[in-house]
Amino acid sequence: KVICCLGSCAAENLLDTKIPVNKLRGKFYDWKGIQVLCTYHPLSLLRTPEKKKEVWEDMKFLISHLGRVLPKLGS
């Protein structure tokens, strides 16, 4: 099981922290024996499209962690 927190509100409440999402990204945390990955909220991507690349990296990290492989483009 893995939880992906989208945004600071989810991350702060689940992990009981005030650390901003940009500092929480890129590693897994434990919540009651479940691994948690944090990234930006979708609304944040609308406001700051430059963050999309970071979220894509987070999603690739999550997919790899789950032992999955992304399909190749055009497949």
Give residue-wise pLDDT tens across range 1-19: 999 999 999 999 999 999 9
pLDDT (0 to 100) of residue 75: 61
Burial class (CB in 10 A: 0-12, 13-18, 19+), 38: buried
Q: Is-contact 37 3, C-beta < 8 A?
A: yes
CA atoms of 12 and 5, how far apart (whole Å): 9
What's the average model confidence in pLDDT over 27-41? Answer: 98
Q: How confident is the model at residue 44 (pLDDT cuts 50, 70, 90)?
A: very high
Read off the pTM: 0.89
CA atoms of 36 and 41, how far apart (whole Å): 15
Token duo for residue 75: 């497949």
Q: How confident is the model at residue 73 (pLDDT cuts 50, 70, 90)?
A: confident
